[in-house]
Structure 1
Amino acid sequence: MRIDLHAHSTASDGTDTPAELVRNAAAAGLDVVALTDHDTVGGHAEAIAALPEGLTLVTGAELSCRLDGVGLHMLAYLFDPTEPDLARERELVRDDRVPRAQTMIGKLQALGVPVTWEQVARIAGDGSVGRPHIATAMVELGVVGSVSDAFTPQWLADGGRAYAEKHELDPFEAIRLVKAAGGVTVFAHPGAAKRGQIVPESAIAELAAAGLDGIEVDHMDHDDATRARLRSLASELDLLTTGSSDYHGSRKTCRLGDFTTDPEIYGEITRRAAGAFPVPGAGGRAAADA
């Protein structure tokens, strides 16, 4: 059983539509895929309507958080999307994305990069605009060679020359809200130091004490030593360990199923969830009518 619990669509900063994402997940030989767009559940309905037979969809979101000035992402699975408090916080984060992007574009222009809001808005389409869309614009302009190359202190990394803050959740509050909505929380790529500053292990211990369910260990931004260290930490803190591709379509080099989650861990996540249930595919739109 092949399970990938972290993927993005055009509802945020991926390049596959939600329908394309689930079809590509099935073609990649996955049995389970999670749709975890940034701070939105806007792609869930389309993904469910297109869900192929034999593929199960885990609904979720990747929540933007900040702790002591350090940005982090919290994967939330199988929560009730209509729970008002969590929905309100997601909306606040999304509403702040446009002025934040415009601020970063202004900083880039001051640095001599001729990026425009119109270009970034075209790239984002109907998705929730974010730094990867700005990075894609920089690739189009030939300023950087890849999206990853834009996420450096020189450009868009946390604290970088063109970085701008946005509204983000306190991760302890995120855990509380997701739990109240019946969901399960997993700290996404906690050791991804190449992206910028990471929170210390002591903070992960505090999050575990507050109800964090797990940490994402097997991820493209973790080397072997980091994975071993995180797996040991998870054992000490009694946290679940997941593996995921963090797929963004053509925007990143990772492929669906590059890293996967153990079926027993997946089973425990579904047992803990009370806000929603995994959706089994029934061959396209039949899934939405079930």
Structure 2
Amino acid sequence: MRIDLHAHSSVSDGTRPPAEVVRRARAAGLDAVALTDHDSVAGWDEAAAALPDGLALVPGIELSCEHAGASVHLLGYLFDPGDAELAAEIARIRDDRVIRARTMVERLRELGADVTWERVRALARGEAVGRPHIARAMVEAGAVATIDEAFTPEWIAPGGRAHADRYAPDPVRAVGLVRAAGGVCVLAHPRARAYGYVAPDELIAELAAAGLAGLEADHPDQAPPDRAELRGLAADLGVVATGSSDDHGAMTGDRLGAETTAPAAYEALLDAASGGPRRSPETR
């Protein structure tokens, strides 16, 4: 089996609708794919309705968390989206995304960038407005030449002139919420150094003690030595090591299946979940 446990759709900052994501996943030779939009489960139903024969859908989310002032991303799978406490937390994160994005647009306009909220909202399409949407609007407006240029201290990088903070839960608390809703959690790209943050081993150990089920080891933005270190750390902590493309459609070169998770790790995650909708025809 070929399994990719981290992919985004246009519900958050991917460029492809959920239905197209699952079609492309099957065309890429995948047997299972997780839809993990940022702070949103709004794409689950569309993806499930369009699920091609032979493809298993793992409903998921990428939760935006914060630890010691740094952004930490947590992948949650197979939880009950109707769980009241988790749903309230997701809504709070999502609503604050909008407040933050509007603030950043206002700051950009003060800096002379001809970016409008209406255009950012249109680019977002879904409910999870993020900095990539702002960056794309900046490129369209001619404020920057590339999306990468937008993510600098001159503009919307953390600490940048137009950057704004937003609400994000502590990742230990987030693990507890997902677990209480019957799901399982994997720490996303903990050694993606280009993102400007490396999750400390102490935090990873604390998350494992709180119920973290895995570490995303094989990721396009993680170097081979870091992947090997994460696999060793996962073994030491008794959690699984996963592999995922973190595909965002055209924005990342349509790379579904670029990295994959071993079937044994996939089965371990499925077995650890108790509350979510299981859309895995080959395994359940």
TM-score bracket for the superposition, by shorter chain length: over 0.9
| C-alpha distance in structure 2 between counterparts of 1:281 and 1:147, whole Å | 39
After superposition, the Cα gap between the structure-2 partners of 1:150 and 1:254, relative to the gap in structure 1 and judged at 3 Å, is farther
For structure 2, list consecutive stretches of 5 or more residues without a partner in the other structure: none
* Counterpart residue type for residue 243 of structure 1: G
After superposition, the Cα gap between the structure-2 partners of 1:130 and 1:192, relative to the gap in structure 1 and judged at 3 Å, is same
The question of 1:250 aligning with 2:241 is answered no
SS of 1:61's partner is: strand
Residue 223 (structure 2) aligns with: 223
After superposition, the Cα gap between the structure-2 partners of 1:228 and 1:146, relative to the gap in structure 1 and judged at 3 Å, is farther
Q: How far is the alpha carbon of 1:178 from its aligned partner?
A: 0.5
SS of 1:45's partner is: helix
| C-alpha distance in structure 1 between counterparts of 2:272 and 2:117, whole Å | 42
Written as runs of structure 1 = structure 2, the 5 A alignment for 1:1-290 is 1-253=1-253, 255-280=255-280
The superposition leaves residues 247-277 of structure 1 with CA deviations (integer Å, 9 ceiling, x where unpaired) of 1111223510011100100010000010124
| C-alpha distance in structure 1 between counterparts of 2:9 and 2:179, whole Å | 25
SS of 2:252's partner is: coil
Moved more, 246-255 or 63-72: 246-255
Residue 285 (structure 1) aligns with: none
8 Å contact kept, 1:208–1:239 = yes
* Counterpart residue type for residue 13 of structure 1: D
| C-alpha distance in structure 2 between counterparts of 1:24 and 1:257, whole Å | 10
Q: How far is the alpha carbon of 1:147 from its aligned partner?
A: 3.0
| C-alpha distance in structure 1 between counterparts of 2:204 and 2:140, whole Å | 38
Aligned Cα RMSD in Å?
1.7
| C-alpha distance in structure 2 between counterparts of 1:143 and 1:231, whole Å | 42
- Structure 1 stretches of 4+ moved >6 Å: none
For structure 1, list consecutive stretches of 5 or more residues without a partner in the other structure: 283-290
Q: How far is the alpha carbon of 1:211 from its aligned partner?
A: 1.4
After superposition, the Cα gap between the structure-2 partners of 1:64 and 1:248, relative to the gap in structure 1 and judged at 3 Å, is same
8 Å contact kept, 2:10–2:16 = yes
| C-alpha distance in structure 2 between counterparts of 1:21 and 1:159, whole Å | 33
| C-alpha distance in structure 2 between counterparts of 1:144 and 1:241, whole Å | 38
| C-alpha distance in structure 2 between counterparts of 1:159 and 1:228, whole Å | 32
* Counterpart residue type for residue 193 of structure 1: R
| C-alpha distance in structure 2 between counterparts of 1:191 and 1:154, whole Å | 25
* Counterpart residue type for residue 21 of structure 1: V
* Counterpart residue type for residue 70 of structure 2: V
| C-alpha distance in structure 1 between counterparts of 2:249 and 2:127, whole Å | 14
8 Å contact kept, 2:114–2:143 = no
Q: How far is the alpha carbon of 1:145 from its aligned partner?
A: 4.4
SS of 1:251's partner is: helix
| C-alpha distance in structure 2 between counterparts of 1:144 and 1:202, whole Å | 38
SS of 2:7's partner is: coil
Q: How far is the alpha carbon of 1:115 from its aligned partner?
A: 1.3
Question: TM-score by structure 2 length?
Answer: 0.94
Q: How far is the alpha carbon of 1:281 from its aligned partner?
A: 6.2
8 Å contact kept, 1:4–1:32 = yes
| C-alpha distance in structure 1 between counterparts of 2:277 and 2:121, whole Å | 34
8 Å contact kept, 1:215–1:239 = yes
Q: How far is the alpha carbon of 1:62 from its aligned partner?
A: 0.6
SS of 1:63's partner is: strand
